[in-house]
Amino acid sequence: MILVCLDSNCQGISDLDKELYFSSVKQMDEFNRRFNCEEFTPGIDSSAENSKLLNIISLFDGNYFTVMDSGKDTLFRKACDFAQTVVKEQVRLDYSDSLWFAQAQCKGKLNGKSVSFSLYLNVRHRGNGRYKWVISKAEGKIFDLDPADTTSNIMITPNSHNVNFIVLSDITSPLNCKNITRFGQDNLDLDQTSIFNYLVYHGNLTIEYVESLEFKFLQVPGYIFSVKEFVRDTFNSGWLIYNLEKVDNQARLQLMDNKY
């Protein structure tokens, strides 16, 4: 198939822009390849000593290093320790890992009003080498069902059973419905994901677009790091690490449990 530009209006981008283009971490697959040192950031000699460490450090948002960490140690030192752990433990990232997930900050409409909330998604194996993304959790203030009245002594009174619980029709009326959670037992555990599913199912909630997207990785022992896209025309752009937390394994497991 001959594929040439059909018009002089269509040209290639300049050499300088090409350098920016090749430096940029353009997709998450490329982020993984660079993290795994299967591909090196332009300018890093793969045969040089410490090339792997440099390659991993090049995956950080440069602005991350300008902030002092607790006034004692710089975040650059923290990033170096992280990179050393990755190289020493031979940690690899793979799309099919269960130890990473996406957090999509969504803009939507709830009964016509603008709302925002988060959806957590992770990759699930479907068998035969096939995968899919699944919504593992919804999170947001709109799913809280905070009662309108937190002070009054609200309840279904003790003898209601003798009158066929007529009061139940009252507690769901527009006058009282905003206090529905107060008629439940104490410490009622409301599942936000179920509420999300319910609202979407009945057409009350729609998603207009994903306002921001980030990925959290838990593969590196002792760390959780977050990646998001920095769209800018500099050599340090694209999908980069913008947050690094040093945590114990218990915290990593807890985060996993919380999001799945």
Q: Which residues contact 13 (CB under 8 A, 6 or more apart)?
A: 21
**231 is a site residue for another protein (CB under 8 A):** yes
Q: How far is the CB of 174 from another protein (least distance, A)?
A: 34
Complex with another protein: residue 26 or 259, whichever CB lies closer? 26
Evaluate the CA torsion angle 203, 260, 239, 241 in order and state its sign. positive
Evaluate the CA torsion angle 78, 79, 82, 84 in order and state its sign. negative
Pair 182, 149: CB distance under 8 Å = yes
Closest alpha carbon to 58 in 92, 82, 93: 82
Complex with another protein: residue 71 or 203, whichever CB lies closer? 203
**5 is a site residue for another protein (CB under 8 A):** yes
**29 is a site residue for another protein (CB under 8 A):** yes
**163 is a site residue for another protein (CB under 8 A):** no
CA distance 36 to 59: 11
Could you say which DSSP state residue 208 is in? E
Q: How far is the CB of 193 from another protein (least distance, A)?
A: 20
Of the residues 27, 160, 194, 204, which one makes contact with another protein according to CB under 8 A = 27
**175 is a site residue for another protein (CB under 8 A):** no
Q: How far is the CB of 141 from another protein (least distance, A)?
A: 20
**131 is a site residue for another protein (CB under 8 A):** yes
Site string for another protein, 67-96 (x = CB under 8 A): ----------------------------x-
Closest alpha carbon to 122 in 111, 130, 133, 107: 133
**233 is a site residue for another protein (CB under 8 A):** yes
For residues 179-218, which are near another protein according to CB under 8 A? Answer: 208-209, 211
Size of the site for another protein (CB under 8 A): 33
Task: Tell me phi and psi for residue 213, to 5 degrees.
Answer: -135, 135
Tell me the two tokens of residue 49: 């000593």
Helix, strand or coil for residue 194?
helix
Q: In the complex, which residues of this chain contact another protein (CB under 8 A)?
A: 1, 3-7, 9-13, 17-18, 21-22, 26-30, 95, 107, 128-132, 208-209, 211, 231-233
